[in-house]
Amino acid sequence: MNRNRVGRWARLAVWTSVLAVGSIGCNPLNIAAFIFAREDKVPARYPLSFKEGPKKDKDEIVVVLLPQIAPGSNNPQFATATQDLADRLAKALPEMAKENKDKKKVKVVSQTEVGRFKSKNPNWKQMSTGEIGQKLGADFVLEIYLDQLRLYDPNTKNSIYDGRAEVFVSIYEIGADGGEMKDKYPLSFSYPKTARSVEAYPSESAFKALFIENLAAEIAKMHTDHKPSNSIADAR
């Protein structure tokens, strides 16, 4: 091959690598992750598992999701947010758990089944979380409160997407004697990482779907070991 042609290909390869590294920023950790593509998992901060007791060796963990909009935080744009989030989370939790081959399987009770339970028990709101979990055969119940939901930057007359949510999650461990709160945590969520013009998305509904999908993924990561995020994914 002509030496000049080899030189041109070599220079092209170098500049391609430089541009790729530049696109993920100058952070050494980002560069290392880009080069080595490590598959190390980030441990869940609030794993859905039993450290002791009769359920310690269960092969499958059953989870019930009870999402709701916080009082006074009703927003017409999020009329179906609890159902949408539950559906996404019901998919995300088992998928992430499946990637951890040495961990237990996770099964999420469908919102259809939860809805049937509520219909058959009109007084379900007076029941304790532990009682609801027991009747639905759960090992854990996640109570998820959604507050301060928004899709747009409030100062831009709905011309800039800047989705936000304040989320509060309570984790109940269900046993033979009922349920007790195992832990709780707040989660301040924003999507996308950098506000974008409405022209960047096909429609409001398309953006809202991505907003809910990413929120579900963030909640799932709190309970399941997962692959580390990187700047390329975070830029979505």
pLDDT at res. 167: 97
Residue range(s) defining the domain that contains residue 73 = 40-234
Alpha carbon 46 to its chain centroid, in Å, reads: 13
| pLDDT mean across residues, the chain | 83
Write the DSSP symbol of residue 109.
Answer: -
Could you tell me if 216 and 114 lie in one domain?
A: yes
Has residue 235 got a pLDDT over 50? no
pLDDT at res. 8: 53
Has residue 198 got a pLDDT over 80? yes
pLDDT at res. 27: 53
Could you tell me if 2 and 96 lie in one domain?
A: no
Query: Looking at residues 201-230, what average pLDDT do you find?
Result: 92
What is the total count of domains within the chain? Answer: 2
Could you tell me if 159 and 209 lie in one domain?
A: yes
Could you tell me if 121 and 220 lie in one domain?
A: yes
Which tokens go with 84? 């949408």
Could you tell me if 181 and 212 lie in one domain?
A: yes
H helix or E strand, kind and range, residue 69: strand 60-69
Write the DSSP symbol of residue 42.
Answer: B
Has residue 221 got a pLDDT over 80? yes
pLDDT at res. 200: 95
Q: Report the predicted TM-score, pTM, of the whole model to 2 decimal places.
A: 0.79
CATH number at residue 222: 3.40.50.10610
CA angle (106, 110, 115) in 5-degree steps: 145
Write the DSSP symbol of residue 121.
Answer: -
Has residue 81 got a pLDDT over 90? yes
In the three-class reduction of DSSP (H, G, I as helix; E, B as strand; rest coil), residue 160 is classed as: strand
pLDDT at res. 24: 45
Could you tell me if 146 and 205 lie in one domain?
A: yes
Has residue 216 got a pLDDT over 90? yes
Could you tell me if 31 and 45 lie in one domain?
A: no
Burial class of 170 by CB neighbour count within 10 A (0 to 12, 13 to 18, 19+): middle
Could you tell me if 31 and 77 lie in one domain?
A: no
Q: How confident is the model at residue 102 (pLDDT cuts 50, 70, 90)?
A: low
Could you tell me if 32 and 130 lie in one domain?
A: no
Which of 41-55, 76-90, 145-159 has the least mean pLDDT? 41-55
Could you tell me if 25 and 53 lie in one domain?
A: no
Write the DSSP symbol of residue 226.
Answer: B
In the three-class reduction of DSSP (H, G, I as helix; E, B as strand; rest coil), residue 71 is classed as: coil
Burial class of 218 by CB neighbour count within 10 A (0 to 12, 13 to 18, 19+): middle
Could you tell me if 115 and 153 lie in one domain?
A: yes
Could you tell me if 31 and 52 lie in one domain?
A: no
**25's torsion region: left (phi>0), alpha (psi -120 to 50) or beta?**
left
pLDDT at res. 41: 83
